[in-house]
Chain A
Amino acid sequence: MILGYAGKFLEVNLFTDKIKEVRFNDDVLRDYVGGRGLATKILWDRLGNKWEKVDPLGPENILLFLTGPLTGFFPGGRICVSGKSPQSNGVVGSTVAGEFGVELKCAGYDGIIVTGKAEKPVYLLIKDSDIEIRDASHVWGKDAKQTVAVLTKECRNLLKTRFPQKGEWKEPAVLYIGPAGENRVRTAVVAAKWTHAAGYGGYGAVMGSKKLKAVVVKGTGPLPEVAGMKRVKQLIQAVCEDVYEDDLWRRWGTGAAGYEVGAKTSSEPVRNWQEEWHDEKSYGVDQFENRVWIKKYWGDFGCPTTCLKVAMVKTGPFKGAITDNPDYELQAYLGPNLGIFSPEENVFLTSLIDDLGLCGIQTGNVLGFAAELFQRGILIKEDLDGLELKWSDAEAFATLARKIAFREGIGDLLAEGTYRAALKIEQKKKADVLKYAVQSKGISIGAHGIRSGKDYPEILSYACSVQGGDHTSTACLPLNDSRSELIMIFHDSAVYCHFNIFGIPRKLKFEFYKAVTGLELTQEEWCNTKALRILQLQRAMLLLGGPDLKWNPKIHDENPPRFYEPLPSGPCKGKAVYKPRFVRDKRRYHEAVGWDENGIPKSETLRNLGLHDVDKVLEKLR
């Protein structure tokens, strides 16, 4: 047995209410590690031969909550949520911070595999090896803050009643969906606490389609045994000391970027990416700090950074709205992207998005897309149920966000996400609106543009990623670069927060892996074999796609049209992606990862990695 793992997974069938334990042999864990890698393997093995027919929102989809060997040990605990994505029709490893992964491992499980669909709303309660599927009718329809309050109290009371000898029970960890997930909105999140979200992939909708409102877990055991505890302690200390030295993320959180990424790097979405520059000092992090922060450091298990802050609006029409920083992505997408430059309005919209169980990035993107169509007269007031969707009108955007979460009126169309909504609007209006859709393969682009060339993503980042617009999983060359998607696969498979690795030596994460598991792993081996194998599997399932949409690499390994328009303002005015360079780099990337001229993984590549069965299935795409 490999150390660092609890050694077993829980499989829950919501059709039959049957619960069983499953184990993976050491070879599988050695190759696919956990989290995103293992999700890819499980999904391929179980659904690969019928992938195109599997409806991501149908009962045949499999929903996964997976930890990795480093979860709980590497500072900054997370959990990886996965399944067939209702956004990309491929696989996304979507991670969310919080105590859930640690509680699950302490309960004795490395992950949860959910199959089937419940007849009525349920939630899963796990207390060590006691597992129960419980009625969730009373929390169905409740927003994030209500859901957390009710389930925390209810489950804690159950634990107190059942195990009174323990003394006071700490709260269990909860993963849940809000109304958006219940209504199978494709931009719905799986959430933790009030503000933490696994957004990319749209797994909130998958959870909703299974009528699974929440998973609640309390583990009372220790984290699994490791190969070298002394070494693990040293490595934890090394990571923490590095973080303490660079105070940036600790002091201001990612929200410092709400002003900076616009003003300094010209890569922030402004009015649906019509611009990427702004110099609105009203949006400086100091304004957020002084006016809305009520807690300066807020973090999750073992995290030295604690980049979150708690914010609450104190005065004005949005008084009482509560959320975190907001972090950069939500500051951008629910701020400048909608023409909003006021901390209070941004906190209000972020708080609402949290409450509805929507993804701030994906929903902020579709709201901006709709507003641009309104600006251009393509969508008119009548199309928007009487709403005047003007830039910077926070109330109007809030109304539309509610409509999306409940799939009311125009919200039902926009609940399909930017790309699918664009296709439908195009049919209805006979206008080219795809050029305003800033997304890649069904997944909206994170709030980091590529035109200025001053931010971290590059011209290939989104177009060639197996997770589309996901800004936490971007493609680049060379493949062993620390920003390469192959390295990001490591974070998501060992499952820890990649925000704690910026300053540490690159090999430290592999040393950490060894100290926990006892297995040698070099970056070279990771990039050349294991990560490449996971990448090919993700690519294969992404290209198989279906049932509603399929991706053709010739067309869809591409940047959003907007990124070819020159930036209209700011110090980087005139900059855009240069198409011939993109075409050249894309060819190079395809070659480097072993894909043919059509972007399909080559037989040779797959066979060298032992993926003969994948090769056979992909035959039909060649």
Chain B
Amino acid sequence: MTTKKEPIWIARDLAKCSGCRKCEIACSLFHENRIWPEASRIRVFMLVPGADFPHFCAQCEDYPCVQSCPVNALSISKKTGAVLVNAEACIACGKCIDACPGRIPHMHSEGKHILICDLCNGDPQCVQVCQEGGWNVLKKVPRKDYAYKLYARTPEETTRDLAVKMYGGKAEEFL
């Protein structure tokens, strides 16, 4: 069990993703009060049908995105371990996208600031809906001293892995 006081992490079992995108709906409702898939901090990619998966911040142990920000618009939440975006300070330069090994941050549709998962202040909405539906792709766990950076993969990399896992040699035809 985790309490709100300790840093958390969202454990992920990508191969179980149904592609229902309820995480996108929950995230955008929480942050934007709209259903807005492209403004969701977690986005489900389906570059190959069936190989759907959520793409969202892995909270790397060395936070390369935070270090790359030229205007200090990114910081680390002491409470949760999440990367926090100061939307007013952000100049939408995109340097954090290039710094992220998984190219996970993406620009808000209105183009003024970057979007990165903030762990909903310790109560991630995406986890809630994923658990409610019983898909259990996402699970809230205490943050440990693990190599979370492994999970910062580009959509292409993860797609390849999942497609091969599902379709074996046939996957090459779809990539």
> With A106-B38, A168-B154 as given contacts, are A302 and B94 in contact (CB-CB < 8 Å)?
no
- A166-B107 in contact (CB<8A): yes
| CB nearest neighbor in B for A321 | B170
- A222-B94 in contact (CB<8A): no
The 8 Å CB contact of B45, one of A170, A302, A306, is A170
- A302-B20 in contact (CB<8A): yes
Taking beta carbons and an 8 Å cutoff, which residues of B are in contact with A? Answer: 16, 18-22, 25, 28-29, 32-39, 43-50, 52, 55, 92, 94, 97, 103-107, 109, 111, 114, 132-135, 154-155, 166-167, 170, 173-175
The 8 closest A-B pairs by CB, nearest first: A167-B106, A222-B36, A222-B34, A297-B18, A220-B109, A306-B18, A299-B20, A310-B50
- B37-A106 in contact (CB<8A): yes
Taking beta carbons and an 8 Å cutoff, which residues of A are in contact with B? Answer: 72-73, 99, 102, 106, 145-146, 148-149, 152, 156, 164-168, 170-171, 193-195, 219-223, 225, 229, 233, 236, 240, 244, 250, 294-295, 297-304, 306, 310, 312, 320, 322
Q: Which residues of A contact B43 (CB under 8 A)?
A: 170
- B49-A222 in contact (CB<8A): no
Residue in B52, B104, B114 with the greatest tally of chain A CB atoms within 10 Å: B52
Nearest Cβ on chain A to B17's Cβ, whole angstroms:
9
| CB nearest neighbor in A for B98 | A167
In the docked arrangement, what's the CA distance between A229 and B36, Å?
13
| CB nearest neighbor in B for A297 | B18
- A165-B49 in contact (CB<8A): no
The 8 Å CB contact of A302, one of B25, B39, B55, B105, is B25
Q: Which residues of A contact B114 (CB under 8 A)?
A: 167
Q: Which residues of A contact B132 (CB under 8 A)?
A: 240, 244
- A303-B20 in contact (CB<8A): yes
In the docked arrangement, what's the CA distance between A222 and B170, Å?
36
| CB nearest neighbor in B for A250 | B134
> With A220-B38, A294-B166 as given contacts, are A229 and B22 in contact (CB-CB < 8 Å)?
no
- A223-B94 in contact (CB<8A): no
| CB nearest neighbor in A for B156 | A168
The 8 Å CB contact of B134, one of A167, A222, A244, A303, is A244
- A168-B103 in contact (CB<8A): yes
Q: Which residues of A contact B16 (CB under 8 A)?
A: 297
| CB nearest neighbor in A for B38 | A220
- A171-B22 in contact (CB<8A): no
Nearest Cβ on chain B to A149's Cβ, whole angstroms:
5
Q: Which residues of A contact B48 (CB under 8 A)?
A: 149
Q: List 29 A-B contacts (CB under 8 A).
A: A72-B35, A99-B21, A106-B36, A145-B173, A145-B174, A164-B94, A167-B105, A168-B97, A170-B37, A170-B43, A170-B44, A170-B45, A193-B46, A194-B49, A219-B38, A225-B34, A229-B29, A229-B34, A244-B132, A294-B50, A295-B166, A297-B18, A298-B18, A299-B18, A301-B21, A302-B25, A310-B50, A312-B167, A322-B170
- A310-B166 in contact (CB<8A): yes
Q: Which residues of A contact B32 (CB under 8 A)?
A: 222
Q: Which residues of A contact B34 (CB under 8 A)?
A: 222-223, 225, 229
In the docked arrangement, what's the CA distance between A298 and B162, Å?
14
The 8 Å CB contact of A221, one of B46, B104, B109, is B109
In the docked arrangement, what's the CA distance between A404 and B105, Å?
48
Q: Which residues of A contact B45 (CB under 8 A)?
A: 170-171
Supply 17 further A-B pairs (C-beta < 8 A) apart from A149-B173, A193-B46: A72-B35, A146-B173, A167-B106, A168-B97, A168-B104, A170-B45, A221-B109, A222-B32, A240-B22, A240-B133, A298-B18, A298-B50, A299-B20, A300-B20, A301-B20, A302-B25, A312-B170
The 8 Å CB contact of A312, one of B28, B36, B166, is B166
Q: Which residues of A contact B35 (CB under 8 A)?
A: 72-73, 222-223
Q: Which residues of B contact A152 (CB under 8 A)?
A: 47
The 8 Å CB contact of A195, one of B44, B49, B134, is B49
